[in-house]
Structure formats: structure tokens, C-alpha cells
Amino acid sequence: MSERSDAERGAGAKRGRAVRRAARPKTPRAVTLTHPDKVLFPDVGITKRELADYWEQVASVALPHLEGRPLTLFRCPGGVGAQCFFQKHVGAGVSDAVPRVRVRDGEQPYAMVDGLPALVALVQIGVLELHAWGSRAERLDRPDVVVLDLDPDEGLRWGAVASAALELRQRLEALGLAAFVRLTGGKGLHVVVPMKPGPAWPAVKRFARALVDDLVRDAPKRFTASLAKDQRGGKIFVDYLRNDREATAVASYSPRARAGAPVALPIEWDELDPKARRVPRFGVRDVPRIVRERARDPWRGFDAARRALSPRTT
């Protein structure tokens, strides 16, 4: 990973302090994996120990986008192919190495992460996927990212998704906003916009919807904003609904509980090829090497790129 700017380091330190304030008091955290040889991804033989090692190798690039955000956990205690479930609230059974944040009075808190011990503690209870809020613990009602999820209909070539993401980027930059892109570990892409916390969730959702509605209006044969499966034939569903309180998007560098252990991987814009036919996928065993060999972090400058959503855009 390339060196982070002073501003980014300062922002990261500030977030870290806020997370520690939000977390319950705890003793020094050493996390021990039980049954480390338990296989979590049977088709490729990835064990609990290997998944913990994966997080150790990517923590430096993953944590800046995870720290201090409430998480929805996707757990597969018996591994992929066994019973899996989403979990929003954490109780006494989750290690004290995992910080908590209370989202609603009278309800159990959500999990967060503030470092590698928390990530390993989540691996210990069979968490395979991390889905993150668009806001942080210190300002739950003020999101700091917009996420647009491009979900293509079966049969569409990958280049159509790449072209759609590049078009979204142009529209966002015309509004004075920066955009970053990540593979989802599935068949789509996320376009992610860093913004300065300010507008509350309803305004940010209105902005996202207006942007998507414009896209659909201009190219109704290519795009749809409809959740209905029968409206998606041959089109890309552009999901703006992740921009709402308690909605989540899979976190950068999170594995997916799918065959091959694919990863939601941030990439450079110039890695998108509008002529490509196949979805690029990189797994838990590929990504640490990719991170080591990259000349620079594709999401470098993410915090520095934050802009305010203007009244015109919301």
C-alpha cells in the first residue's frame, strides 16, 4: 500500500479514538482460534486459520474502510454449504475483542472492528462476510459514502457492467464528486462516492435515487431501478437502496461465502475493460499477493476526495 497522506492519517486516528470511546472497556485482547483447521470453504479447502491469516495480510488496506462502522455479519459456522445467516445484533457470545455500537435504544448493539484482533474474533465465530454501514459510530445519522450497486441480468457480458460504471463515474465527476470502484465478488460492481458527513440519510438516498433515475431515463433499455426480477431482462439493475440507515454494502476486502472464496476487491478505474466478456474474480488466496504487488492502493486518497453534497444534488 502506498503511504497515506497526513490528512488521511489524522482522520484515521480521529476515527480510531471515536471507536474506542464507543467500544465497551476491555482488557488487552488476545484472540485464540479454536478448531483452526475447520474448513470454511470446502471447494478450495480454506480453513479458519487461513481466513484469519488472510485478514492479517490485508488489514492495512482493509481497516481504513471498516473501522468504526456498524457491521452486519454473514456467518457460516459450519462453512459454506452449511447453515448460514445474517446477524445484525451481537450479544454476550461474541468476544470482547469486538467493539460494539448501540444503534437503537433497547436493542442489542452492532459489531464493529478497530483492528486485527476484532477481525480474528469474527473469524472465530464463523463470520465469512462483513457488510458495512455508510456511516460511522460517531455520526450514525450522517453518512459519509454513497454506494451504487450495479447488478447485471444473467447473460449480460462483463463489458456492459464496466461501461455502466464508467458512465456513472462521468456523471458523478460532472457533479464535482469523486468515485471509486470495487468488484463485489459476484457478477457486479460497486461505485462508491466519498463525501463529507452533512446531509442525513433521507437526503443522501434522494440524491442516489435522482442519479439512478436520470441514468434509467437516458438509457431505459440498458438500466433499471426496479427491484422486480421481471423488469430486469437484459438490463443492469442499479441499486440505490443501500443508501439508507441500517442498509449495508459488502465491505472492501471482505470474502464472499461462495465457491472459490471470492473477495470484494477495490480496483483502479483503468482495470475496467468495456470489451471484456468474463467477470474478473480474485479469491482469498489471490488478494494478499495482489495487495503486496500493487504499485499503489487503488483507493488512495479516498478520504481526501470527500466533497459536500450540495443542496442542488440532494
Q: Cα separation of 280 and 261, whole Å?
A: 13
- Whether domain 6-138 has CATH 3.90.920.10: the reply is yes
pLDDT attached to residue 227: 82
The position carrying cell 460504471 is 165
Backbone angles phi, psi at 225, to 5 degrees: -110, 10
Report the pLDDT value the prediction gives residue 155, as an integer from 0 to 100. 87
CA gap 314, 302 in Å, rounded: 21
C-alpha cell at 154: 444473467
What number is the average pLDDT over the span 212-231? 91
In this structure, the dihedral spanned by the alpha carbons of residues 205, 208, 209 and 212, taken in order and rounded to 10 degrees, is -170
For the entire predicted model, the pTM comes to 0.89
Distance of alpha carbon 154 from alpha carbon 187, whole angstroms = 9
28 has pLDDT over 60 = no
Q: Give the residue-averaged pLDDT of 92-121.
A: 95
Q: Is 70 exceeded by the pLDDT of residue 21?
A: no
Top-confidence residue, 139 or 310:
139
The 10s digit of each residue's pLDDT in 170-212 is: 999 999 999 999 999 999 999 999 999 999 999 999 999 999 9
Task: Please report, for the chain, the start and end positions of each structural domain, with discontinuous segments joined by +.
Answer: 6-138
Q: Is the pLDDT of residue 102 over 90?
A: yes
pLDDT tops 70 at residue 15? no
Mean pLDDT of 54-75: 97
Q: Taking 70 as the threshold, does the pLDDT of residue 80 lie above it?
A: yes
Whole-number average pLDDT of the chain: 90
Whether the pLDDT of residue 7 is over 60: the answer is: no
Give the contacts of 255 (CB within 8 A, at least 6 positions apart).
51, 54, 128, 129, 185, 261, 262, 263, 264, 283, 284
Mean pLDDT of 218-222: 96
Question: Quick check: 236 pLDDT over 70?
Answer: yes
Q: Mapping DSSP to helix (H, G, I), strand (E, B) and coil, where does residue 89 land?
A: strand
**Is pLDDT above 70 for 22?**
no
